[in-house]
Amino acid sequence: MPKSFIRLEGLGEPRSRRRFLANVTFGLSGLIGAALGVPLIGYIFGPLIKPSPNAWVAVGSLSDFPLGQTKLTKLPDPSSLPWAGQTADTAVWVRRTGQQTFDVFSVNCTHLGCPVNWLADANLFECPCHGGIYYANGQVAAGPPPRALFQHDVRVVGDQVQVLTSPLPTAGL
């Protein structure tokens, strides 16, 4: 038998070494393609299959929020992953404007997403990254932010203030 042929047990006829290595190469290429392709397809079509959950989350009782004051409150991030750890939480600014009315703002600046600070003495929100300033109602006062702070829906159920969690809108919305 010539050296260029290999007899594989149980396969019957001899095969060339070149054909055997080509089949192994095709098989491994297919496995590598599947290993790379499945996560890529999941990344592209994942948001269509499983939308981010929106849920009402209690952030405190009515007595936790004095009238006319703004308070930073923690809540779970609806777009987090099971292994996110501490990053599974986000924050919102809750401002009580009436007996049963509240303004709830995202903590992220609309310019580049930096967390804004509340300056109680000035009654303003300030972004420390690029100097964006917002009024107490979330509207832009100065700086580079292109729009007002993102607002969350809020409701009062019994004594509890609840916020509708939602992922941050993407740029252009």
The model scores a pTM over 0.75: no
**Domain 56-164 of CATH type 3.40.50.620:** no
Would the pLDDT of 134 be above 70?
yes
Length of the chain: 173
- pLDDT tens sequence across 18-55: 888 889 999 999 999 888 888 888 777 766 655 556 77
Q: Encode burial over 110-140: b for 16+ CB neighbours within 10 A, e otherwise.
A: bbeeeebebeeeeebbbbeeeebbbebebeb
Mean pLDDT of the 113-131 span? 89
Q: Give the whole-angstrom CA distance, residue 95 versus residue 99.
A: 11
* Tokens coding 165: 């969690």
